[in-house]
Amino acid sequence: MTRNKTSKAWMQQHVTDHWVQQAQARGYRSRAAFKLLEIHEKDQLFRRGMTVVDLGSTPGSWSQVARELVGDEGRLFALDILPMDPLPRVDFIQGDFREDKVLAELESRLAGRQVDLVISDIAPNLSGNRTTDQARSIYLNELALDFASRWLRPGGHFVVKVFQGEGYPDFMEQMRQHFKQVLTRKPKASRDKSTEVYLLGKSCLVNSAGAVDNEDSPA
């Protein structure tokens, strides 16, 4: 199949996709919103008043869901190296979350608040080389995990998209070193052929300040 035919086939599948149509009907920026909603419905991730950080937030569908679920009393901080169209009551910071300047800006905006939940639907730009793309994906996962382990309060939670393949078992083990429990989720809105799953790290054990979670998270 030529590239043009492949593109047309993908577009036809996209516009007729149930989740794409639902996202358009409900005003979500992408079908990915339903993945986070399903995880929340199963695991009760969010509660009103939470402080949440969305890593790799663009185009913003996860931020839309999180904003709805934390309510007006909650705070949501979204970070992405790409621009994101503004969303009401979402603090967006454009930049690389590994850079000191971006982290200093986040710390300033947090104003002493502790982070209850880090969510990450981040993925690399695909090259078409499966081995290279998988390595890039795991690398981003590791960066997101490092961020979560530094910024989460003890007992906080972390959700991250992971592609199964080379490096996946090792990353799962890294998750287990930082959280009391690590669960695997495959939302219905994930395409059947995709190797993506979502890992949920429940109850962060220790943060960069050395604080330890000695009790079950109230979330």
Does 74 show up as a binding residue in the annotation? no
C-alpha span between 178 and 90 (Å, rounded)? 28
From 5, 8, 35, 161, the catalytic residue: 161
Q: What's the average model confidence in pLDDT over 166-187?
A: 97
Does 62 show up as a binding residue in the annotation? yes
Does 96 show up as a binding residue in the annotation? yes
Q: Where are the extended beta strands (E) located within the chain?
A: 51-55, 75-80, 91-94, 115-120, 152-163, 179-185, 196-204
pLDDT tier at 127, thresholds 50, 70, 90:
confident
How far are the Cα atoms of 7, 15, 94, 186, 218 from residue 148, in angstroms, in the given order? 36, 35, 18, 21, 18
Residue 161: active-site member: yes
pTM of the model: 0.86
| Alpha carbons within 13 A on the beta-carbon side of 29 | 13
| pLDDT at site 90 | 98
| pLDDT at site 52 | 98
C-alpha span between 54 and 192 (Å, rounded)? 25
Tell me the one-letter amino acid at 188. K
Among left, alpha and beta (phi > 0; psi -120 to 50; other), residue 86 is beta
CB 35 within 8 A of CB 57: no
Tell me the one-letter amino acid at 182. V
C-alpha span between 6 and 126 (Å, rounded)? 16
Domain ranges of the chain: 29-204
Does 10 show up as a binding residue in the annotation? no
pLDDT tier at 218, thresholds 50, 70, 90:
very low
Non-local CB neighbours of 10 within 8 Å, separated by 6+ positions:
none
CATH of 29-204 given 3.40.720.10, 3.40.50.720, 3.40.50.150, 3.10.105.10: 3.40.50.150
